[in-house]
Chains A and B, each alone.
Chain A
Amino acid sequence: MPLEYPKETPSQTAGPFVHIGMMPRVAGFEVFETELGQVPAAEGVPGTRITIEGRVLDGTGTPIKDALLEIWHADAEGRYAHPEDPRVNEVHEGFTGFGRCHTDLDTGTFTIETIKPGVIPGRHARPQAPHLNIWIVARGINIGLHTRMYFPDEENDDDPLLGMVEHLHRRATLVASATGENAYRFDIHLQGPQETVFLDI
């Protein structure tokens, strides 16, 4: 018998009212002085300001209106604001790289405003193309979905993760499209012919 470790606490859906705990203003009230994840990169943080808009679509093609997304990303030099990043001391104090947003209760569109990340060191000395890490929860999602968003105007061909996606046409599900200067669109498909590549990290 292999050695047994305690098992992780099982996941449960965030449900439709996830905003109450994580973005109470969206639920319709104020309780906390500061809501978390509202400013991934404060004014003065070096880097290109970007805006991303998108939707989360279910298997019928309908945008879902009760999703919450978290983004986690590196700064313009590819450094994470985290103690295990060897270059954490060089990260600007106004940069967290952590953002929270929701799909609008009426339109289903989400918006992220932050700075564009740089190339990130990877395993086996293979650099990773600039990307945002994204985590999605909602009613009907039993365990949070991890994915990444890459940029259409960056060199993605040698990215180790994109290279692992077996079906070539599915790589495109991880790349945003440009809609203007420093503006991007990124739709996430939970199911169907354009199903986004989700990750088991």
Chain B
Amino acid sequence: MTAEYFQRDRRWHPPAYTPDYKTTVARSPNLPLLSVENSLSEITGPTFSHAGLGPLDHDLIRNFTGEEAIGERTIVHGRVLDQNGRPVKGALLEVWQANAGGRYRHKKDGYLAPVDPNFGGCGRCLTDEDGYYFFRTVKPGAYPFRSFSNSWRMAHIHFSIFGAGMTQRLITQMYFEGDPLRAQDPIANTVPDQAAIDRLVAPLDLEASVPLDSLAYRFDIVLRGRRQTMFENKLEGA
């Protein structure tokens, strides 16, 4: 049972070369990508199970030391669907982020804001039968970075998503509703269409918030869809 995936709409995604995000200038391929028909090499990809994950992997407030991290207590939740509107079950989501002060726990992060001794900054989980997932974390702080001398990243959570095959592989970033840094953020604005950036902005979800405990934000993710018709994949000599 093998069906092709919809072609990726490359005009909707950020192009490789986006000079306001200066690092792309020397790291963007100049030549056209080679478009290939889906074969087994593309429609397959790694699969993951709960056996590989730990019980606190989705809880960034407590998964580093067991003590609670400092910051705005936040739930991030949503569904992973494909372009046909079908839930993507068993999708692996990995997230990473700065702490509430905008500092990453990473050897190479030199920002002057302090690390939080109880915050690692990463988590992971699998979607359920409905494509649903949730994380618990603290809201990350904005941080400066060198694109222009006074560039800032708006608050964001990095998301890595594995769907059913390498064709659906995606890394993106989630933003928070109402962030005043959006217009100047050179990385968010690598995406050419404001409507596409809107898709990365999670609205506040008051109904999913836990009273007296945590605010919630909703982030739904769409992966590439598949055609209904199968292609043949005969084994050699079969």
Binding site for B on A (CB under 8 A): 5-22, 24, 27-29, 31-34, 36-37, 58-60, 62, 64, 66, 70, 72, 74, 80-87, 96-98, 105, 119-125, 127-128, 131, 133, 135, 137-146, 148, 160-161, 164-165, 190-191, 195-201
> With A22-B160, A28-B107 in contact, do A12 and B34 touch (Cβ < 8 Å)?
no
Contact B63 A58 (CB under 8 A): no
Chain A residue contacts of B104, Cβ below 8 A: 17, 20, 27
Number of A-B contacts (CB under 8 A): 268
Chain B residue contacts of A137, Cβ below 8 A: 171
Q: List 18 A-B contacts (CB under 8 A).
A: A5-B225, A9-B221, A9-B223, A12-B171, A14-B158, A14-B160, A16-B108, A19-B106, A31-B63, A31-B122, A59-B25, A72-B45, A127-B236, A139-B23, A142-B15, A148-B41, A160-B39, A201-B42
Most chain A beta carbons < 10 A, residue from B48, B96, B224 = B96
CB A189 to nearest CB in B, in angstroms, measures: 9
Binding site for A on B (CB under 8 A): 1-2, 6, 8-10, 12-16, 18, 21, 23-31, 33-48, 52-54, 57, 63-64, 81, 83-85, 92, 94-96, 104-109, 120-122, 124, 158, 160, 164-167, 169-173, 187-188, 190-191, 196-197, 199-200, 221-225, 231-236
The distance in angstroms between the C-alpha atoms of A37 and B92, with both chains bound, is: 13
Contact B34 A197 (CB under 8 A): yes
Contact B37 A123 (CB under 8 A): yes
Would you call the interface of chain B mostly helix, strand, loop, or mixed? loop
Chain A residue contacts of B234, Cβ below 8 A: 121, 125
